[in-house]
Structure 1
């Protein structure tokens, strides 16, 4: 079977590795950029994603990239404790949670793809067209930078893993337009800072109007460590970028019709927004001011789709269900998509690789795509709605609504049972409730039930 994957980000590379593990070898990955540079900042891989990477034989190399956080703490904007919970192995999972640099993870997955599949990544290929053929195959066209023209390829299956601005999704939903902006602006960065608590703690502080998130990306060295952070503010427009300053272009003019800002900005005005956020052991403005670089993003997502699969094409990751970062779950869900798709495809081909499936006259590929979408799309539709309601971070919103000037006892504001249920409900929705995850069947084709 000839399989084409559009996009060499986390989702696309995880899809290639999952398909290879399921027995497929004729795989090509098309990436629009001319170089995989391993850019970005930090991300969290939750235990359900680490389970899948473990079963792909990648756990050790991913663990070497980052830190396994042991505690997650929520605070209000005054630094008062709202809720904390253990994470990873300490929470009863069989797999850890890992905080890693996105770029380093991407490069590690790229290297694994090359090791297992060879030279299958085509750079400088931007998808411009897709057409279903009479035999059920798909012809895809790319604007190719190296050839200064277009190239065509024909596949039995095409998988769109090309992110929130997916070209394949746009071909299927041409009227969708740009992702809707929530009104929040995010500034992401990595900084060398004093050790955060015990060196293995994630902190989320704030409310629905302003928030700061920080977690370690490396082990402490001489009382300091690398921290990933996200600063967030509602109702603040984009700041002047360093690039726009050089070009003499104003910030709003330069952003006209741009959906992803993703541009380097001066840290000083962002640090000023958090000037009084200095808590015990957490100096927010100092962390921001000390960042290597700050990248500015709008907080955007995509509306849920009624259908991911058209013919022999389907979507995974942000191309299918881009969501807000509430819950730190986007990258993990892309890996779950990849493994679920490969599982259904491998199982269907093993059951009937040549003839039509039993009911409805569908081929094995069509059966697999239907099974994949049934398994993932309703769950991701519900999860997307949950992230728009702020997911597990709802405890911070409730604390701000019920005690806007702070509190003496959090139990008088949000009873413990209510806080526990908010945390547990999100785990159930996202598929990483410990008891369910530890006991569910493997997504490795042919593994024992």
Structure 2
């Protein structure tokens, strides 16, 4: 089977690795940028994604890039604790959670694809059109514009569009959709070198639905004892709904927005002011769509289901997409039946998850605390019963497919074309 993947981001590269592991090697990955530069800030890979990376044999290399967080803690804007829970193996998972720099992750995945598949990545290829297979045969042809303005075509039995939230493929099938949907929130993302946060392995979320600060380490202690901290500062309003992921802004004015958010365990204005760089962009997503498969073209990752970062699930869901698609192609009698099974497994699940992220996902506990006790509290359980906090956390894990008992118990999704399967489709929320 000949396969073309449009997009060499996290989703596209993990798809290539998943297909290779399933026995498919005639793969071309076309990337619009002239160079994979490893840009971005932090990303979290949750245990259900790390399980898939482990079964692909790449988790150790990715783990070496970052930190394995052990705790996630929520606070109100007064710095009072709302809820804490263990994460990864500390929570009883068989696999860790990993916090890594997105750019370093992308470069490592690129290297792995080249090691396993050879020279298959084509840079400077911007997708501009899609057609059915040549000469009436089943398949698809992707048309790309090159950096010099000329065009080239790549044909295959299947084209996988993993070309992100601004997917050209999705726009071809949904030309009237318009731009991503802005939540009204503006994000400022960056990294900073700071003294270790709490125990050095804790993710923190501070604030509420109007203003919030998220931080987690991307490295262990460096030579000077500090660690690299990834952070997201967020506020309703401000900024622009135009999603330019590389717009740099001055640190001082953003630090001033968080003036007063200083606690004995974290000085938020100082972290922002000390950022290595600060990028501004809106919190956007896209509405769920009724179809991902169009003949022999299929959407994957953000091209199919871009969602808010609440719950840290974007890269993880793209990983599940990749593994599910590879599994179905390896075990289902025909390509068309495999694509139908993939969409049936993943589209409804991610639509449910998208809805939860629009309700702020597990971060809902912060807004509840703000609404019920805007001036703070003595004991959070006077405001939110423990059972309610536990229920919110469990609901999201089940919907996203990474409740510990559910994930640890399910069978593997590893399969090879023409061989025996060892699992079933990766349906978020299914045990």
TM class by shorter-chain length? over 0.9
* Whole-Å separation in 2 of the counterparts to 1:197 and 1:274: 20
Match in the other structure for 1:373: 343
What displacement does 1:148 show? Answer: 3.1
**CA contact 2:43–2:100 (8 Å) conserved in 1:** yes
Match in the other structure for 1:419: 389
Q: Deviations over 1:390-447 (max 9, x none)?
A: 0000000000000011111100100000000000000000000001101111110035
- Listed as ranges, the matches of 1:132-143 within 5 Å are 132-133=132-133, 134-143=136-145
Match in the other structure for 1:191: 192
Match in the other structure for 2:254: 270
> Match of 1:263, SS?
coil
- Listed as ranges, the matches of 1:381-400 within 5 Å are 381-400=351-370
Give yes or no for the alignment of 1:107 onto 2:107. yes
Q: Deviations over 1:62-108 (max 9, x none)?
A: 11000000000000000000000000001010000000000000000
- Listed as ranges, the matches of 1:2-41 within 5 Å are 2-41=2-41
> Match of 1:265, SS?
coil
**CA contact 2:321–2:346 (8 Å) conserved in 1:** yes
- Listed as ranges, the matches of 1:70-85 within 5 Å are 70-85=70-85
Match in the other structure for 1:286: 270
**TM-score, scaled to structure 2:** 0.95
Give yes or no for the alignment of 1:43 onto 2:27. no
What displacement does 1:301 show? Answer: 0.1
Match in the other structure for 2:400: 430
* Whole-Å separation in 2 of the counterparts to 1:261 and 1:342: 30
- Listed as ranges, the matches of 1:167-182 within 5 Å are 167-182=168-183
* Whole-Å separation in 2 of the counterparts to 1:169 and 1:161: 10
**TM-score, scaled to structure 1:** 0.91
**CA contact 2:11–2:301 (8 Å) conserved in 1:** yes
**CA contact 2:66–2:100 (8 Å) conserved in 1:** yes
Say what the alpha-carbon RMSD is for the aligned residues.
1.0
> Match of 2:220, SS?
coil
* Whole-Å separation in 2 of the counterparts to 1:304 and 1:171: 16
What displacement does 1:139 show? Answer: 1.5
What displacement does 1:174 show? Answer: 0.5
Q: Deviations over 1:5-53 (max 9, x none)?
A: 0000000000000000000010000000000000000010000000000
From 206, 224, 227, the equivalent of 2:226 is 224
Q: How many residues align?
A: 416
From 289, 298, 315, the equivalent of 1:331 is 315
**CA contact 2:243–2:281 (8 Å) conserved in 1:** no
> Match of 1:300, SS?
strand
Give yes or no for the alignment of 1:343 onto 2:327. yes
From 236, 239, 243, the equivalent of 1:237 is 239
5+ unaligned residues in a row in structure 1: which ranges?
A: 239-254, 353-363
Match in the other structure for 2:89: 89
> Match of 1:368, SS?
helix
* Whole-Å separation in 1 of the counterparts to 2:322 and 2:353: 17
**CA contact 2:190–2:275 (8 Å) conserved in 1:** yes
